[in-house]
Chains A and B, each alone.
Chain A
Amino acid sequence: MTDRLAAREEILQRLRRVLSAGGPMFRGEPPAASAVESRMTVADVRDDSQSLADQFAASLEQALGSCELVESREAVADVVVRRIVAWAAELEAPTVDGTTVDVLSWAPGELPVPELEDRMRERDIRLFVPADLHEDQSRARAAASVIGLTSVNAAFASTGSVALVPGPGRSRAASLLPLRHMILVPMSRIYPTVEDWLRSLRQADRLRDLLQRSAQIVFVTGPSKSADIELILALGVHGPKVVHAVVFDDTNGG
């Protein structure tokens, strides 16, 4: 403990000494000081949810993800279940008991689509919502899952990114371990840019709280990528190889 304090004191003392000496610290012209609150630039985008959704889809595709826009909220469950069944067949997903396929998922209550779990069960798809992934059995089960399903805290039209904040019933693993990741994006959560989201959180005085309260916030933009071998692009090096967003309109009461 004393060692730790000694190092801290020594480093801080030297920094204080240099900083209190005054004079210019950097070679170039110092930039004008600005308040943190005004530092974010906000993109000039039309704010209606349909055009934001279109732009989000285009940006995600540019990041080599894929996206489909579903007209009505009622149709979402159908679209999702159909696609997951197709994925399971394509990937020859391992089954738990000969017929049932695990989908590593956020808890049904954290997914903004009602009745999804029942509709899945009809097609032999089971949502696996781990309680503790440091426990061997559920770790092994999560590791064997090839499909992940989550929603988002926010999505960003300019880059096709999504913000994921872990919590109870919202594992990090669901968006990370499986080869394919399906993301449910309600239009009301799409912001023009990351900055817009952060600024709105700061204005509501929720930004610090969110960062401190959540163990982690992660921005995800498309599938995992590497170009380490001869600069040839490979997808799915550690994270998912396929990232597919299902965007739907939740703004008209639907």
Chain B
Amino acid sequence: MHWAKDAAEAGRVIAKIADHHGVKHVVKSKSMVTEEIHLNDTLERRGIRVVETDLGEYIIQLAQEPPSHITAPVVHKRAEDISELFQRELGMHPTTDAVEMCAVARTALRGEFLDADMGISGCNFAIAETGTMCIVTNEGNGRLVTSMPRVYVAVAGIEKVVRAVDDAVLLWQAATRSATGQEATVYFSMSSGPRREGHADGPEVMHVVLLDNGRSRILERGYADVLLCIRCGACLNGCPVYREIGGHAYGPTAYSGPIGAVITPLLADDMAKARELPYASSLCGACRDVCPVKIDLPRLLLDLRCELAEAGGQPAFESGMAPLLERATLKAYAEISRGSRLYRGVSKVVGALSRLAAGGKGKDLNSLPPPLNAWTRTRAMPSLAVKSFRKRWSERERRTGKGDAE
């Protein structure tokens, strides 16, 4: 049993275990936490061969890329890309058949499992009442990693600890349904230590590394909710932003999507390094709706934005300390929107101006005067239509005999 304050300490602890047992070859099952602490780099620098064994992780390791999804790390790759990679790296005969490629990977990885002297996994749930580490997989690599090598190391964030077996089973089912919609994952392994007297297989030594790496600080800063996450990936699948931009757009982090936009800045030693992430959301709330543990991600994103604005010298609007121009603009907008006559007049003038600036109706504005030029630097703004929406609406209402809209 080991405790690690941060990534560096966890790396040192695991490297020491590897040295102690003369480990040269490690097999790993998919684990976001070891991705978070860049464990592969640490071990490889010491001349240890590290092989990822989840099919998706194996593919991106061969391609030397980071994962793009919490549960489907290689969702961004086409079968053709994977085929090319396998032909180059594994000498596979040309095929783009997914089932055939899986068989090729099975053979290659089986050799690694039988040969490796250490297995490393993350941990889905750590059961306090019995000292048990649970991992959830569909492929079976989790079972092989925890059963075949002589040494087994499980790494768990401190938030993975649950009180009882019952809690772990409940959360396992919640994660399964939200991740893939299965009734049960193919494998759920609960390991409580090395093999016992008379057992044919299982590790001879088992180590557990409990990792803080910013988690207790998250609790301290009032973001405890985010520690409830069970990494099912449902918020990624539900997020219109993630679906459009993909996981790699969230930068060099283990966690992408809405949950990543909250966790990554919180785990960073300096939040400003990931300052764009809390803004990578339209706050539509789809992530909150699908979350099986009911994390209010939009709320947390807003809180982070607030913190970032204050840290960047921009006090929150509600505090009455916002920049003068911003306040004046919003005040004026509120005033204009309130009176229908004023709104109509102003929109007429703005519409005419926009068409004039664009050079005719139906044309786009490619540059606006400051401070609006920041917006048009990467986008075109369409000029306003001659006939406003309000006008169209009232005409339509009159036509269909539903009375006046105003």
Q: How far is the CB of A149 from chain B (nearest CB, A)?
A: 14
Docked Cα-Cα span, A223 to B170, in Å, equals: 22
A239 contacts partner chain B, Cβ-Cβ < 8 Å: yes
A130 & B201 in contact (Cβ 8 Å cutoff): yes
Given A134-B204, A176-B147, the answer on whether A219 and B82 have CB atoms closer than 8 Å is no
CB-CB < 8 A to A213: which residues of B? 196
A36 & B199 in contact (Cβ 8 Å cutoff): no
Given A7-B4, A229-B79, A239-B143, the answer on whether A26 and B225 have CB atoms closer than 8 Å is yes
B379 contacts partner chain A, Cβ-Cβ < 8 Å: no
CB 8 Å contact bits of A199-215 with B (1 = contact, 0 = none): 00010000110011111
Interface of B: prevailing SS: mixed
B183 & A158 in contact (Cβ 8 Å cutoff): yes
B185 & A215 in contact (Cβ 8 Å cutoff): no
B192 & A28 in contact (Cβ 8 Å cutoff): no
Docked Cα-Cα span, A139 to B129, in Å, equals: 34
Looking at the complex, which one of A3, A172, A223 makes contact with B143 (CB distance below 8 Å)?
A: A172
A133 contacts partner chain B, Cβ-Cβ < 8 Å: yes
Given A39-B170, A166-B202, the answer on whether A218 and B190 have CB atoms closer than 8 Å is yes
Given A7-B3, A176-B143, A221-B184, the answer on whether A228 and B74 have CB atoms closer than 8 Å is yes
A15 & B216 in contact (Cβ 8 Å cutoff): yes
A66 contacts partner chain B, Cβ-Cβ < 8 Å: no
Residue of A nearest to B138 (CB): A225
B189 & A216 in contact (Cβ 8 Å cutoff): yes
B2 & A4 in contact (Cβ 8 Å cutoff): yes
CB-CB < 8 A to B19: which residues of A? none
A161 contacts partner chain B, Cβ-Cβ < 8 Å: yes
Residue of A nearest to B183 (CB): A159
B102 & A237 in contact (Cβ 8 Å cutoff): yes
Residue of A nearest to B190 (CB): A217
Interface residues of B in 292-308 (CB under 8 A from A): 294, 296, 299-300
CB-CB < 8 A to A231: which residues of B? 72, 75
CB 8 Å contact bits of A128-171 with B (1 = contact, 0 = none): 01111110001100010000000000000011110000111101
Question: Total A-B pairs in contact (CB under 8 Å)?
Answer: 237
Docked Cα-Cα span, A167 to B279, in Å, equals: 53
Of the listed stretches B157-165, B253-261, B265-273, chain A binds: B157-165
CB-CB < 8 A to A222: which residues of B? 186
CB-CB < 8 A to B73: which residues of A? 228
Docked Cα-Cα span, A207 to B59, in Å, equals: 39
CB-CB < 8 A to B225: which residues of A? 26-28
Q: How far is the CB of B254 from chain A (nearest CB, A)?
A: 17
CB-CB < 8 A to B9: which residues of A? 3, 7
Given A63-B186, A221-B184, A231-B72, the answer on whether A139 and B4 have CB atoms closer than 8 Å is no
CB 8 Å contact bits of A1-36 with B (1 = contact, 0 = none): 001100110110011011000000111100000001
A80 contacts partner chain B, Cβ-Cβ < 8 Å: no
CB-CB < 8 A to A158: which residues of B? 183
Docked Cα-Cα span, A213 to B127, in Å, equals: 14
CB-CB < 8 A to A211: which residues of B? 127, 130, 132, 165, 190, 192
Docked Cα-Cα span, A223 to B195, in Å, equals: 25
B397 contacts partner chain A, Cβ-Cβ < 8 Å: no
B299 & A226 in contact (Cβ 8 Å cutoff): no
B74 & A172 in contact (Cβ 8 Å cutoff): no
A55 contacts partner chain B, Cβ-Cβ < 8 Å: no
Q: How far is the CB of B75 from chain A (nearest CB, A)?
A: 7
CB-CB < 8 A to B220: which residues of A? 14, 17-18
